[in-house]
Every structure is written in structure tokens, then in C-alpha cells.
A and B are shown apart, each in its own frame.
Chain A
Amino acid sequence: MTRASTPAPLLEVQRLTVAYTRAGRSYDAVRQVSLTVQQGESYGLVGESGSGKTTLALSVMRYLPRSAAVRGGRVLLNGADLLTLDAKAMRRIWGRRIAFVPQDPHTSLNPSMRIGQQLGEGLSTDGLDQRQARQRALSLLADVHLPDPPRIAECYPHQISGGMRQRVLIAMAISREPQLLVMDEPTTGLDTTTQASILDLIRDLVRRRSMSILYVSHNLGVVAQMCDRVAVMYAGELLEDAPAARLYARPLHPYTQGLLDSVPRLGQNKRRVRLRGVAGRPPSPAETRSGCVFLARCPLAIDLCNDAPTLFETAEGHTARCHRWKEIEAGSADPRQPASRKAGPPRTPTIGREVLALQDVQVHFPLRRSLADVFSRRIRRVRAVEDVSLSIERGFALGLVGESGSGKTTLGLTILGLVERTSGEIHLLGKPLPSVIAGRSPGTLARMQMIFQDVDESFVPTMSIAEILRRPLIRLSGSPPDEASSKAISLLEAVHLPPEFADRFPSELSGGERQRVAIARAFASKPEVLVADEPISSLDVSVQAAVLNLLNDIQVVRDSGLIFISHDLAVIGYISDVIAVIYLGRLMQVAPAAEIFEPPYHPYTEALLSAIPLIDPRGKQERIRLQGDAPSPVDVPRGCPFHTRCPRFLGNLCKEVDPPEQRTASGGMIRCHISLDELKAVQPRVFAFSSPVEGSG
């Protein structure tokens, strides 16, 4: 019954319900979800952990874990219901009509088979003989822009980088020209620059082969850049579904709005804009709920919301599951409280407020020497941090940004004394700091604290929250034990957690709540300097804003210096007053936050900025892509360490000579052979954005 004017959709998911059974109890991971992917369309599915997005993707693939069962609905591919097919019939569909690109390239390839073999074996099932399959495998490796396909084909997965493995997985997925690619967070865990080139690749491949994509991600920016249509999932339900441009410009569901307001846009800074985020904690899957699934966290909830809303069609091709969508559309119900916060002009560093100073800090790790090394008297070292000089002011935040392996975490650990520095000086309040933590006095330890990336593993699981907070109070601040308990409660209050959390254990808390406890613990000893290593990257998007705001508020109120380590330039740009860009252990650029987004920038900063997936689909970016992977810190290139990948590479000068530190007018630094004026002349603004949030802020 298809009309001639509308082509039949490729994939239709109709009222799909999938339930998991755990410990004898059953709960819905996906409830009554319907969606349609047209021929040639890229359809994005956005959600946080536990939203059911991956379960939905795996249902489409007919590859659910044993504990999951489809309780109702249909999955139609070209009109035929996949859910009625047995495994044998699915084998004719897998790879040939729908293919899957998984999240983790490190575990998704067989560790004991060569790449070429793994790529070729799917082709052999189509009747290609060994030689043909090999030829085809090589041309596929070339299609995904892998250098030297014959060599890659002979490699085992562990011999190539994560980005290259993801390209192999993409080559595998497109190898039999399927109509639909189901991609589950295919770039999560990759560096921003690697992610950018993988996304380019996917876009090109899809356009050339007119494939459709079901793209699952938690990253609003990536989906904005990749997809024509976007659906938002929450607690197993689809809350909003609209063309991408429309969803990002005029979101009608309070949750969609909250998600969009949870991540800082490139160029936003805390001194001018306050992130709104979403209050409360993400729902746990086992919770029983009635009414709207978002009720508990919704700023616009009214009595009516106790009745579950249906998906309302708000316009042609735009649906939203909210009773109040009309008011939201008209602007009479706006969850966005005045987002901006009155704040003075950006503070500039003032002399004499310095709390921490690093002078030529160097950290090298010796490598295990092989016999050949001993004979050739070669000493191989990991040059993790190389001649870093920085200073941190009271009440100021220094953002340290770099890709994985850049040495940013090592630098943080070195400041704390958890890693021994090879040379250089660190001064705290003008006094030199011993290299390792064992040599530092309790008073010094109290003045420097750290928040770790992995929220799950930074607590002793058998200690209650009260005990966790009492320890630094007693040990570092010298509080009498009987006072420590009441101080612990006030710390909890400071991080907006109820006092009854004191008796709970870390495993009873959500990720966001645990990170709040980590912040409370770090501030317990009233530190002068706080090092936060990727403190929000393991958190769900909707709670990131709250944690970021909290960290920022406490830091400003307590007037301590903050070193914020992250790979995300938008987050760094938001939280920091000064930003340091690090590559292979060297600072490439240091600049006040506002300046990092304007030319002149270091060519590496330029590439990083251009690689960020902008949340606004209309945002325009220069496309600067780095070639290959970063060199290993064992074999740091001579001259400028960035010359092997630099888009503005000059020639032998960059290869041979260490570039000078050029000072900018505002006291920043750019380490490059190209003069600042020249850089400014050739570098365009890397991005232009037109965010409604920024406009109203």
C-alpha cells in the first residue's frame, strides 16, 4: 500500500518492546518504540546510558543478549519482519543487507586472526574465491583510507592503532554493500582528531554508496554532524523525533532541551554563561514508574504529567512525548531560566596571586631494555612530559587539553607527587615541592588534592561516605574526630547531597553522585590547588553540567587554583581561565580562554578546534584533518614534535629546529616557527556558530 510519491521506508521499527530479566525480575529496556529510517537517510538515536538505545540497535540486528527478550512489536526491513526470522535466515541478512559497526574497536576484532583474513571471510560466504576475496579486502582497506593495505592485511589487530581498527571494522561492515549500517557509538573512545576523520570517512562512504545509517550515540555533537534525523531516547522511551536541524534549533521536549543545555558550546565560558543541565539522577532501569518517564527530573512538570503522554505530532515529521509541547513551542513554558549569570569581565591574572608554579618540569620513564639496547648503549625512554613551565593563580582555572598519550594525566600526577619528575622545579606558595608524595608534609598534602577520572574506582567500596569524608578531615586538616562527622555533613551539603548519604556506600550512588562525593573529599582539606583529571568524561551527559557547575562554584568560593585536565576543548574552554594545549608532552600553546578560539592559534590547536563535532548542525567549520596517528612518546620527532602531522608544515626548519616560544600580547605563548602575524593572516576562524543559547546568554 505504498504510494508512488513516497518511497517505501528501508527500516521500520513498530511499537518495539524489549525486556531484560535480571535476578528473576523483568523490566523494559525499550518500551513501545517506533521509528522509520528512509532509504539513504542517516538516522541518529541519542540517549544516555540506560536509555535503551543500544538495546534497540541490537534488536534491529537481532542480536540481543540471552537475558533480553522481545515482548512485542515488529522490525521491518523492506517490509519483512526480521523478528520472525530464525538464525539461519538472519545469516543471509547479516552483513549483506544490514551490517553492524560496534563501539569498541579494541575488543571487536578477533585477536588471533590477521586483518585481511577477518575482512575476507565475510566475502567468501558470497562465493568469492580466496584470491578474489583478498583482492577485494585490499581495495576495501584502501577505501577506508588505510595506508599500505597489503601490510595492514597481514597485521594482527594488536599491531595497529584503535583508529585504524575502527576503519577496519567499517571496511568490514560495508564490504558486502549492505543497505543499512547500524553503528553503535563507533567513535566513542577515540581521540577527537581521529574521530573527526572517521566521521568524514563514514559520511563519504554513505553518500557514495547511498546507504542508510542508524547511528547510536550519546554525543549530541557527533549526531548533529552525521544525521538527517534525530530521535532522543530516555528510560526506554522515545521522547522526541525530528529532522536534525529542527531538533537542535527548536527542541520541544524538556529533556531534549536539558541535554542540549548540558554541554558547553565551543567558545562558551563559565564567566559569561552558566550551564543549565538536567536536575536529578538518570533513572535506574529497575525503577517502576507511572506517568511521564521524565517526570521526576522535569522542570515543567504539572499534575497532568502523572498520566503518561503519547507521542504528539507537533509538525510534519516532528513528534514529541510531552503534554506541554504547545506551550513550549509558543514560549509560554520555558525551562530555560535566565541561563546567563551576571559576571564581571574575565579576570586577568594578577601578580602575587600565584599558588603553584612549574619550572621546566620533565618526566621520563625508562623502558625495559632489550639485550640489543644494552650492547648498543641505547637508553630508550618514554618522554611523557618535556620542559613544561606553567603557573596557576588563586581562584583561577587552568585547562590542560590534549589527546590520549599527550602526557596531560602524567603532568597532573607529577604535580601531586604520584609520579616522580625527572627534572624541573615545582613551587607551592613559593616553596619548592619535593618530587614524590612521600617527601611531602601532611600540610602540603592538604593543600593539594585530586579528583580522578574513574568515579567507580576512586573509593574504597567498603567505606561509607561519612568515613570517606572523615579521613581527609582528620588526617589532613587535623579536625578532632567528634567534629569531623558534622563537618562531613556540611561537605555533603556543599556538593548538594542530602545528609543521609553519609551512611551510604559508594555502590549505592549514581555516577554523578559519586563524583560529587569525590569533589567533597577533595575540598575537605581546603586545598589551595586542585587537580581534576577528566572529572566528567565518565558521567552521563545530563549530569555533566551539574558536576561542572558545582566544581566551578566551590573552586571560586574557596578561591583555590584548579587544574582541569580534559581531551574536550569545549569543556576546557568553558571551565578554564587559561588554557594550555599539550602534544607529546610539550606545551604547544598557552592562552587566555577567550583567545584560544581566535587566530592566531598553534596549528595543532587549529586542528583540534576543527575536529570538534559542533552541536549546532548549522555550525560551519574549516576542515583540517591530521594525517595518521600521533607518534609514540618513545620516538618523539626531532625539531617541532608536531611536524609529522602539521597542516602548516614549512619544511626542514620544522624538522630540525625546536620552534621558539612566541609571546602573544595577552601573555600567552605559541610554540611555532611561523610568526604570529603570519599565522593570523592565514588562519580563518575555525568555526562559526549561531547558538540560540549563546545568543540569549
Chain B
Amino acid sequence: MSRYLVRRLGFVVLTVFLTSIVIFSVIQVLPGDVARVILGREAGQAAVDQLRQELGLDLPAPVRYLRWIADFVRGAWGESFSLRTAVLPLVARRLSNSLLLAAVVLGLAVPLSVGLGVMAGLRQDSFLDNVVSMGSLALVGLPEFVTGLVLIQVFALQLGLFPASSSLADSSGLGGKIAQLILPSLTAALVLLGYLARLTRAQVIEESGKPYVRTAVLKGLPRRTVILRHILRNALMPTVTVVAISFGWLLSGLIVIEAVFNYPGLGSLLVFAVSRRDLPVIQAISMLAVVGYALANLSADLVYAALNPRLRLE
């Protein structure tokens, strides 16, 4: 187990290191001089040179990389070019919003989709199974801006149950913020629901047909024991991995949903930063996304190992 843990941890560190190099290099090769971008087209060459020196842009690339990564670890993420504010508090606020949304989405989607997938898988070809299979296929196929707009139309504009905009303004209070979370998280949850329910259903069907399940049934065990102890334990392993990967997506990839609902998450900030060539913000968000993905994967590996002794005991 400890060897497995060390290997996975090493893998996380390596992943973050390699992607940080990629992020750093991509920004280096982007056209345009950073100092020129900051100072604007009219600035004189002397001022630009001076700023380059101040920013350390005249140093060799490896040194700049080391400085940059050391600053990142220390939390010195610099100042946003476009907003003229410190990057750290800006990104941190957006990150906490994104984390909140991700948690609510997973809290909604995982129990629902696993439950539906398991029930459908255990009753293959039943009415419920057909409904779940068709419904989840439809959800997988629908783009999230469509589901988002439909939800706004129905629940916000017609029924007036929830607000259409989810800007989480401080003025809206706790109750207001909770209400604002509902529609965006429901939209993202519906996307996940389709994937997870289909995956779970397929896994439950596959495991149910395996000889060890027959052994369990023919022992005379209660059906509940066969399902919980034998089928689900083995069937849910792939689901764990997919949930972890989707956590990374929820953290920084919800660009469309955040735009539709005007939600202040990392995704919309990233879009904003890209449109303004706000490099410090882009770098910070990219690094956060990488670390988020890596940690989510690590936790998936750990849960997977807990479920699967063949991995743990190798």
C-alpha cells in the first residue's frame, strides 16, 4: 500500500511539474512582449526596457521559470494586467465559488446517477431501465447551454422559483445565494448524470454476469448482500475515476454554464483573462486547474486502491 501511495504521489508531483513547464513555455512563445502589453503601444522603448528589467524578463528562461514557480508556491502570484489588482485574492474568491458549485453539483449528481444506474442495471430491460438509458443518452447529447436555457426559461422566467442570474452578489444574502446556486448546478449535474448513470448501469450489468456473483447467489445470501457487498463494490470502481476527472472539469471547465448564468467562477475569469491577455491570471488559473486535476486523480486512485486489493497489494 505504501509503495502504491508513494508511486501515485510521485506521479502527481511529476504531472504538476511537467504541465507547469508547458504553461510557462506556452506563455513565453505567445506573440507580443509582456512589458509592451502592460505599458501600451505608446510607451517609449526605454520605459519598456526598464519594465522588462524590473519584471526579470531579460533573464534566461530557466531562471525565469524557477522564479515564477517559486513565486507561485509562495503565493506571490503578481498583479493582474487588466484589473490592476493582486491576482491571489481575485483568483481565490473565484476558486471558492467554483469549489462551492462543484461540491453542490457532485452532491446532486453522484447519488442520483449512481442510484439510477444501479437500479437500471439490476433490472436490465425493465421499464425503469429503458427510461434511464434513453434519458441519460439524451442528457449526454444535449449541449449544456441548451439545458441551461431551458431551465432558466421554465424555473426562472415562467415559474419564478429561482433567479436566472447567479452572480452571488453580497447583497443577495445567504438564502439568495443558495437559490442562485440551484440552476447552474442543476445544469452541470444533468450533464454528469447522463455519463455517470450510463457508466454505472453498464458496470453493474457486466459485474452481475460474472461467475463470482453466481457463487455469491448460490451461497444463499440475501439479495441485498449480493448487491451491496459483491456487485457494487466491484462495479463502482470506474465510476470513482470518472467522478474524480469530472471534478477537474467542474473546477475550471464550466465556461459555458458560468457564462449562461453569469456565475463568478474560475472558468469565466479565465475567459476574461484570455480576452485581455492577462497573463498572470491565465497562469494562475491554469496552474490551479492542473493541481486540481492531479489531486482529484490522486484521490480517485486512493479510493480505487481501497476498493481493489489487487492494486493495494501488488
User: Could you list which residues of chain A lie within 8 angstroms of chain B, going by C-beta atoms?
Assistant: 61, 63, 66, 87, 91-96, 99-100, 102, 104, 107-113, 121-122, 125, 156, 158-159, 169, 172, 176
Contacts and interface: CB of A to CB of B under 8 A. Distances in A.
A104 B214 contact: no
10 contacts: A61-B218, A63-B218, A91-B221, A96-B220, A110-B230, A111-B234, A113-B230, A121-B219, A121-B229, A122-B220
Contacts of A111: 212, 234, 308-310
B216 interface: yes
Interface in B284-314: 307-310, 313
A163 B49 CA distance: 77
Given A111-B310, A112-B234, A95 B223 contact: no
B214 A109 contact: no
Contacts of A125: 219-222
Contacts, number: 81
Contacts of A159: 313
Contact of A110 (B212, B218, B223, B313): B212
Nearest to B223: A87
A156 B218 contact: no
B215 A121 contact: no
A91 B212 contact: no
A75 B288 CA distance: 65
B233 interface: yes
B225 interface: yes
Contacts of B234: 110-112
B215 A112 contact: no
B212 A107 contact: yes
Contacts of B218: 61, 63, 94-95, 99-100
Contact of B233 (A99, A112, A176): A112
Nearest to A97: B220
Interface residues of B, number: 24
If over half of B's interface residues share one DSSP class (helix, strand or loop), that class is named, otherwise mixed; here it is helix
A110 to B, nearest CB: 5
The 8 A-B pairs at the shortest CB distance, nearest first, are namely: A95-B220, A94-B220, A122-B219, A108-B211, A156-B309, A100-B218, A107-B211, A110-B212
A99 B309 CA distance: 27
A102 B220 contact: no
A172 B309 contact: no
B307 A91 contact: no
B210 interface: yes
A110 B309 contact: no
A183 to B, nearest CB: 12
For A94, A96, A100, A108, which residue has the most chain B Cβ atoms within 10 angstroms?
A108
A63 B223 contact: no
Contacts of A109: 212, 215
A104 B221 contact: no
Contacts of A107: 210-212
B119 interface: no
B38 interface: no
B214 A102 contact: yes
A156 B220 CA distance: 21
Contact of A94 (B211, B217, B230, B233): B217
A102 B215 contact: yes
Interface string B70-112: 0000000000000000000000000000000000000000000
Contact of A92 (B211, B214, B219, B220): B220
A94 B226 CA distance: 13
Interface in B155-200: none
Nearest to A104: B211
Nearest to B225: A121
Contacts of B308: 111-112
A329 to B, nearest CB: 41
For B215, B234, B310, which residue has the most chain A Cβ atoms within 10 angstroms?
B215
Given A91-B222, A121-B225, A158 B214 contact: no
A93 B220 contact: yes
A99 B214 CA distance: 11
Contacts of B216: 110
A159 B310 CA distance: 9
B92 to A, nearest CB: 39
B243 to A, nearest CB: 19
B9 to A, nearest CB: 15
A63 B213 CA distance: 11
For B223, B233, B309, which residue has the most chain A Cβ atoms within 10 angstroms?
B309
Contacts of B233: 110, 112-113
A112 B221 contact: no
Contacts of B313: 156, 158-159
B309 A169 contact: no
A102 B210 CA distance: 12
A95 B308 CA distance: 27
A92 B218 CA distance: 10
B212 A94 contact: no
A122 B221 contact: yes
For B218, B229, B230, which residue has the most chain A Cβ atoms within 10 angstroms?
B218
A616 B218 CA distance: 34
A487 to B, nearest CB: 46
